[in-house]
Each structure stands twice: as structure tokens, then as C-alpha cells.
A and B are shown apart, each in its own frame.
Chain A
């Protein structure tokens, strides 16, 4: 019944549309809407109506093909394609739709006949071979596709016909060097296929990569071949070689150079590792050299950030100073460059330099930016232990973020109650987001300790903030000796974690053992058992590790660490993959 209704709709629609091409276009849009809504039966009728009025409408034919496939009526598509071809036998799309439909219907003999008709109509054209080869590839019939391409090359006397398709077959069969040769031929004819080549060749196995690179760097289209090689090297995590390869192929100027550098910098910047960040920075710096004024300044700032991520503060500062001191630079760029310089100095621990630069720019900076940079300076002072200077740097900042600085200063001075009250107010959303876990952890520690003031504890935390983790561990353990109960357990656990961070495994193990022995059923005891289990597992003492984890789970079944302990236990017992 539904079928009958769709035929009726189609017939009525065709009558109406025959009178008006504009309405045919409108009806095509409506058919596409129906398709988008998943109403395939109605969409098929609508596409058919358009084709009844205009049988060579490519959009309608392709739409009919899509929806007919969805409702199991590919045979209808073949009929529509045949009618279109009867009116225009030169249209490649019509031939492709017919071939595709017949192959999907597994009408191999009809498909072969359609292909031969197309070849007869266009005997010097590679298109029939290319299209059929693509269909065969999509069906996984690689050997048939290979034979077809061989036939095409022989008939057309063209050894490079369907090179991209043959390259894909060679890749699938792991003939990587031959694949590279075919891709090189393909991109020599159609440089637009370079991306496809790079994507395909990315899967080359490590042992074969050098051979593939040699092929790409020789013969026709060596320049585009080397660009593909540069892409491949980046994907294979060889950013330095990739950058050298790209640089050698770059034109002196022009939009292609700009695009290639930008693309390289973005891809390298997404990789992990300092080397990748450094070549990204170098590419951006090279890009800036060929850009006009404001664009160049913006790119240099990006380059400086990348140098900073690569750990090269000197190069970063060199670029930023060049912008800040350039006579023709725009005010906004100079401000951005100077702000980045201040952040860099603060991040690298040069608090005085950061403060000096900030003071020099104070009048030029917007208030919010000035306050943000002031906090960067304050944190630099905090990390250097100059708490008065930190307080002064944040004095003008009455925001919650400013309270964070004051909170840390108070905690480090031993004012646990006042300091944690401020840190609690800051919460998770305000302040430095990177420090949010630290804020929560210190609030929890102080809550367990239960004292308003304890300078020894504050001093231990300050040493940790300064990066002296082993010293902090010892100081924390000493402070713990002055405490009892949960407070002592929590402080000893902190001390153990600091010792672990300082790679003092024996020290950490001793402290965890003490907590686990005396406070096994407390949260700190559970965490200590987990730490002990991990140390034992790392030493290969799996039975010991499993016993620790079982003790954790059985003695603290409601601990938040229990799910983690169960996973560790499963791994140790080999019940789940160890990765």
C-alpha cells in the first residue's frame, strides 16, 4: 500500500513539475528535506518526480540513489541512471551511478556490460577504469581492481593511469615502496591528491619508511613528494627531520609557503614533546618573517609561546622584546608582547624581573590584565618564599583570585585557620585553576590536623611549593610528630607522598607502613595501603601487593579508594590487561 501511494505521488508530482523547471528545483529541495528527516519512501517519490520532469538532473539522481539504497530499491536507481544516460551519455556521474547500482545489486554481468558500453563511448578516457577500480576497491576486490588498472594502462598506453587507485591496492598488500611510486605519479598529475597520499602512506610500517621517503624525494614531482614526506615524518613523530624536509621544499614567498608553514606549525604544535614545540616555534618564526606588519607580530607572539613551551625562554624573550621595541608595532601588539614577557619571567622564577616589567607597563595595561599579571608576579614571589612581596603584589586585587594569594601566604606562615578560610572561599572555580586540587588538598589536611596555627606545617607546605619535595617531606614528618590521631595520619601521608615525589621510595614506604600500621581503617590508612601495594607491585612482589590491596578493600569497604584498589588488584592478578 505504501508502495502504491509513493508511485501515485511520484506520477502526480511529475505532471506538475513538467510544466515548471523552477518548481522542479523547489521539489528537489523538498526531496532533500524529506531525506534529511529520514522519510526515505517519500523522498524517493519526490526525487523520482524531479527526474520525471528533468531526467538528467544530477542532484536528483544522486538523491534517488541514496534513498533507494536505504529502502532496498537499488534496482530503481539503475533504471533512472539508464534513462539519464540515454539522454546524455557523456556524463560521468550517470555512468558511475549505474555501475554502482548494478554492482550493489550483485548484477555482475550487467555491470560489466555497462562498463564496456562506457569504454566504447570514451575509448581514450581513463575515467571508466578509474571509477570501476574505485568500486572494486570499495568492495574489497583488490585483485580484480589491479587487473582492471593493468588493462587500462595497456589500452590507453598510459603507464600512470589510475595511479591513486593502484597505490591504495599496493598499500593494502603492504607493497609500500610501490605504493609510494604510484602516489608520486598520481600527485604529479593532480597535486590536489597530496593530502590523500600523505594520509594513505602514514600506515607504512617502520622498517619500510626510509625506502618510501627515498621514492617520494626522487623522480617526477619531487617537490610535492618531499612535502608529502615532511607530512609523513611529522606523523611518524620525527618533527626535526620533518621540518628540515619542509624547509628544503618551501618557495621563497607566496600563499603556498604561508599555508604550508601554518599547517606545519599547527600539526607540530599538537604533538607532545619539546622538540615538536620547538620546530613549531621555528616554523611560526619563519612564517612571521614573510608576513606583513600586524600579522607578523601576532605570529611572533605565537612563536614565542611555542618557544616557551619548548623550554627555550631565551628565544621566547628575544621575539617578545623585538615586538615590544619595534618602532612601527601597533599598541595592542606591544601590550600583548609585554604581557607575555611578564608571564614568561614569572613562570621562569624571575619574580623581580617580572615585577619590574609590570611596573613599567602598569599605566598602559587594562585593569583586569594588570591584576592578572600582578597575581602571576605574586605567585612567583610565593614560590621564591618572599611572602611579603607576594602580599604586596596582590594588595590591589580585591577579587577571589587575590584572596587565593593571601590565603597561600597565610597558610605558609602557619595561620592555618585564616589561610584555609580564604582558600575555601576561592573554591574550585575562582583563582588559579591549576592550583584548585592543591587548595582542596591543603584544606583537607588542615581540617584533619584541627589546629588554628602551626608554623611548622606552613613551612613544610612552603618548601613543597618551592619544589624542595624531599625537604618538605622531612619537614612534614617532623610536624606530624607534634600531632595525634587523624591529624598525624594525614600529615604522615602527605610526608609519604612528598617522599615518593622526591623518589625517596624507602622513605615513602616507611611512612606509609607507619600510617597503615597505626591507622589502617582511616582514609589515610587506606591511601597508605594503596601506596604500599603499588611499591610492592613495582618490585614484582605481586602476592604482597595483592595482600595490601585486599586489606585496603576489606578494612575500608566504603573508602573512595576502593574502586581504584579493585582495578589494581585485577591487574596484579592478571584478570585485566596490565596496560
Chain B
């Protein structure tokens, strides 16, 4: 037995473990929520864990142990919730818990204590666009509570009340995702334009691109001050562009009344962005693309790249617990899925960016993470992990048909990640 294994066996004694500062099982009985193929509903399992944190103030996330399982107090509420949700749970005896801890100690695994349920906010427009948001659906399905914020709340400083912020299908360049190219005249697009313009006027901005730049800046400040940001789809790419373009007009005339600055590409201030550098803008307003950050360019037939599969990296749970948390999954390789931004070109990433998942041999990566100030950001390319070619107007995905979706698990890893005790996050 090595030293750490010996200490773990002592940990069962409680007081010794407390002295050593190691995770301790503080309850008489425990429920293991397996997250490998024995699990029947991985997505709702996150909701069970979240509810247990709220109820008991303590859940252990067993990184790399049986797909990233959870260990929680064995109480009637947890059992009832698991039965109703169809989440597989296993009663574990004291001896079994000790054995699990021994296994964790001797392998690339770790136990992370989750003790504070994060306050979740989703940046979402107040109107109903004809597409769905994977994170909203995942949180609703897992029954994890959240609030919605939009420009008024962000500019008004309401992000202070939030631990975790999600962005999805928003265009922070203020060009309405260039939807006018394919959906001119559609009522929902007209409403989107009206609402954005009204909000810009209300908040004192000359036009929507200026409003979105201010929102992007507030989001960056939120992260710098310790917030957790998770973004998907084209919110990732356009947030980067909006941050880098703080003093440059990168919006087409239809958005702000003036064409893009002729030298916009050269004047972008990449140090102001979170993840990217040296990317090039798409300067043609009629081309449905923002820049070369996205490797797949789904709406550009001449540039579109086919979907492959992306592979999650295997991080050291004990040394790199943060990226390890973000990649907990029962599948190592996951089929790719399109979004207005599907992936991130390697060439455009800053050197300190941590790549969490990539398509081997491709010029792009799928899932990235990094720190800014006291906070962190995580980007996942693509729109809907369970619908690889989700189109505007398609019916929303019914997650009860995809309860074991590995792609959706990545989203939910991000939700629980801010619940980890600060000590673990700082290792």
C-alpha cells in the first residue's frame, strides 16, 4: 500500500481524515450514482446530484470513477427523486465506500466535494426564436433551476448574482447571426431586430452592434471577477470578435448603418478576447460566416467541412481536476454536431487555452477552456449534441429520447463544476 492509499484507509476513521483534509463520507449510508453504462439516465443524474447539494450541502463527484459517478447521502428524498427520474442508484455499504476510495487513490481518479449549488443564469432573448438552446433544454430536463438574463440585466450589473452564465445562439457582433441572408421577411427575424433595436435605444446605445459590444465587455468583466462562463454555438465566436473589436466597426451596414471598417481585420485587439487571436473576419456581408475561427463554416457551401467525431482528453484527476471535471463522460469519442460555430480553428487559439476535446488530425478543436482573472470560461462548439444538423425551425429536441447523450453530459459537467469546493478548484 502506498502512502496515499494508507491515508485513505485511515480516512474511514473520520477524525484522521479531517485532520488530513481529505474528503470524508459524512453520512451513515451512501448512494452511488454510477455514470458509466450502468446508468439509465445520465442527464437526470446531474439533477439528482444538484438537488442533493441543495438539500444536504455535500455530494462527492468521483472523477474518472465509473464514468464520473456521484456519491451522495442515502436519504428518502434522494431515492424518491432517483426512482421518479429513472436514475440508477446503488446502495453502498461502509466497506464498499472504503473500497471505492482505495480504487480512487490508486488510479487516475479523485473525489471532488460539491457543496454549494451554483446560481445559474442563461443569457436568452425575451422573444421566442425558432430554435432551441441545448443548455436550457438540458437544465430543464435535469430539473436544475436557472434564471434568464438578457442585455438589460447584463448592462445593469445583474451578473453579480450569478455563479454560472451560459451563452448560446447569440450574435455579439450585432448582425442577427446574418439570418437575413436566408430568412429575410420571416416574422421571427423582424421581431428579433425590433427587440434588439428597442433595447439598444432604451439603454442609450446608437445601434445594436454597440449594445452587444457593451454586453460582451460586461461578460468579460464578470469572468475576470470570478464568474464561470460557458458558451456554445456562435455565442463563442461572436463574443471573441465583439471583445476584440471594441474600437472597430465590424458590423455590416444593415446592422449599424455603416459598412465594416476597411481595415477592421488589422485593427482587432486580440488581447482583449478570451480565447482567440489572429483570426480573420469575414468581410462580405452576404457571406453567412463571421470569421475563420469556426473550422466547419456550416452555412457556406464552398467552405463547409464534414462532421467527424471528437475525442475527449484524459486529464489527471488529481493534478488537473478542473479540466478533468469538464470531460467526465461515459464515452471518450463523441459524434460531432454542427452549429453556426461548430469548432475552433487551432491556429486562432491563444497558447494558454486548454483543449478539452479535439477531432484528431483536423485543423480544429471542439471544446476549450481557460482562465481570465479570477474566473474561467469554457466553449463548446455546435448547437445541439443530439441533433447533428439542427436547422432553424426544426422541432426542439426531446431529451427524454436521449437520456444518455454524452454530448449533453459535457454541458451538465459545466453546470456542476462551479459547485466544487474552492480548494479543489485552485489545485
- Contact pick for A577, options B83, B299, B300, B398, CB 8 Å: B398
Q: Are the C-beta atoms of B288 and A140 separated by less than 8 Å?
A: yes
Q: Are the C-beta atoms of B140 and A553 separated by less than 8 Å?
A: no
Evaluate whether A570 and B400 lie within 8 angstroms (CB atoms) in the complex, with A140-B288, A550-B84 already known.
Answer: yes
A562-B86, A576-B400 provided; 4 other pairs, C-beta below 8 A? A139-B301, A141-B287, A553-B84, A576-B141
* Nearest CB on A from B278, distance (A): 18
**B396 surroundings in chain A (CB, below 8 A):** 577
**B307 surroundings in chain A (CB, below 8 A):** none
Complex Cα distance A563/B403, Å?
Answer: 12
Q: Are the C-beta atoms of B141 and A570 separated by less than 8 Å?
A: yes
Which positions 390-408 of chain B face chain A at CB distance < 8 Å?
Answer: 395-400
* Nearest CB on A from B116, distance (A): 24
* Nearest CB on A from B359, distance (A): 15
**A144 surroundings in chain B (CB, below 8 A):** 286
* Nearest CB on B from A474, distance (A): 36
Which of chain B's residues has its CB closest to A563's CB?
B86
**B17 surroundings in chain A (CB, below 8 A):** none
**B85 surroundings in chain A (CB, below 8 A):** 566
- Contact pick for A569, options B84, B284, B287, B299, CB 8 Å: B84
Chain A CB within 8 A of B184 CB: yes
**A103 surroundings in chain B (CB, below 8 A):** 302
Q: Is the interface of B mostly helix, strand, loop or mixed?
A: loop
Q: Are the C-beta atoms of A576 and B182 separated by less than 8 Å?
A: no
**A142 surroundings in chain B (CB, below 8 A):** 181, 286
Complex Cα distance A577/B397, Å?
Answer: 8
- Interface contact tally, CB-CB below 8 A: 66
B-binding residues in A (CB < 8 A) = 103-104, 135, 138-144, 172-174, 550, 553-554, 557, 562-563, 566-567, 569-570, 573-577, 579
A-binding residues in B (CB < 8 A) = 80, 83-86, 137, 140-141, 143, 181-182, 184-185, 284, 286-288, 299-303, 395-400
* Nearest CB on B from A244, distance (A): 30
- Contact pick for B84, options A139, A174, A554, A567, CB 8 Å: A554
Complex Cα distance A140/B298, Å?
Answer: 11
Interface centre among A135, A553, A570 (most CB of B within 10 A): A570
Q: Are the C-beta atoms of B83 and A141 separated by less than 8 Å?
A: no
Complex Cα distance A143/B182, Å?
Answer: 12
Complex Cα distance A135/B286, Å?
Answer: 15
Q: Are the C-beta atoms of B400 and A140 separated by less than 8 Å?
A: no
Complex Cα distance A557/B400, Å?
Answer: 18
Q: Is the interface of A mostly helix, strand, loop or mixed?
A: helix
Q: Are the C-beta atoms of B300 and A139 separated by less than 8 Å?
A: yes
**B286 surroundings in chain A (CB, below 8 A):** 140-144
Complex Cα distance A143/B181, Å?
Answer: 10
Complex Cα distance A567/B399, Å?
Answer: 10
Which of chain A's residues has its CB closest to B299's CB?
A140
Q: Are the C-beta atoms of B302 and A138 separated by less than 8 Å?
A: yes
**A172 surroundings in chain B (CB, below 8 A):** 181-182
**A577 surroundings in chain B (CB, below 8 A):** 395-398
* Nearest CB on A from B2, distance (A): 42
* Nearest CB on A from B317, distance (A): 31
Complex Cα distance A567/B403, Å?
Answer: 11
Q: Are the C-beta atoms of A566 and B395 separated by less than 8 Å?
A: no
Evaluate whether A140 and B301 lie within 8 angstroms (CB atoms) in the complex, with A557-B83, A566-B86 already known.
Answer: yes
Complex Cα distance A562/B185, Å?
Answer: 45
Complex Cα distance A579/B86, Å?
Answer: 21
Complex Cα distance A574/B300, Å?
Answer: 36
- Residue pairs across A and B with Cβ atoms less than 8 A apart, 16 shown, are A138-B301, A140-B181, A140-B299, A140-B301, A141-B287, A550-B84, A553-B84, A554-B80, A554-B83, A562-B86, A563-B86, A575-B141, A575-B143, A576-B137, A577-B397, A579-B398
**A562 surroundings in chain B (CB, below 8 A):** 86
Complex Cα distance A523/B85, Å?
Answer: 20
Q: Are the C-beta atoms of A566 and B84 separated by less than 8 Å?
A: yes
Evaluate whether A141 and B185 lie within 8 angstroms (CB atoms) in the complex, with A104-B302, A557-B83 already known.
Answer: no
Complex Cα distance A243/B175, Å?
Answer: 45
